[in-house]
Amino acid sequence: DARVTQTPRHKVTEMGQEVTMRCQPILGHNTVFWYRQTMMQGLELLAYFRNRAPLDDSGMPKDRFSAEMPDATLATLKIQPSEPRDSAVYFCASAQTGGANTGELFFGEGSRLTVL
């Protein structure tokens, strides 16, 4: 089964440290999304890429977060420096969008981040 792969699955770090989360989208999907999920805010869209180009990162705190897609098989989300309020589950999702596609998003299992 094709699936979205995220690493790490769990990360505990101290405030001020850099955190990098990685995502391998499903081969052939042209759109990659980063979401953050917390109890208070639910699923928030942070950024998304289509054909590796960043289309929208307005949901992301620009001063500390950055998202890139260095190639079609890898998307990264970096937090530097991390803060306790960044503690959340970060999901990557990929989809084939455009044309007659349904737009179904396929999610990875998430990266659970705890910043102490």
Partner 1 sequence: RKEVEQDPGPFNVPEGATVAFNCTYSNSASQSFFWYRQDCRKEPKLLMSVYSSGNEDGRFTAQLNRASQYISLLIRDSKLSDSATYLCVWGVNFNKFYFGSGTKLNVKP
Residues that bind partner 1 (CB under 8 A): 31, 33, 35, 41-43, 45, 48, 50, 55-56, 91, 97-98, 101-105, 107-110
Nearest 5°: CA angle at 46, between 44 and 48? 120
Residue 27 or 102 with smaller CB distance to partner 1:
102
CB 4, min distance to partner 1, A: 8
C-alpha–C-alpha distance, residues 17 and 40, integer Å: 24
**CA atoms of 88 and 75, how far apart (whole Å):** 18
Closer Cβ to partner 1, 81 or 97, answer by number: 97
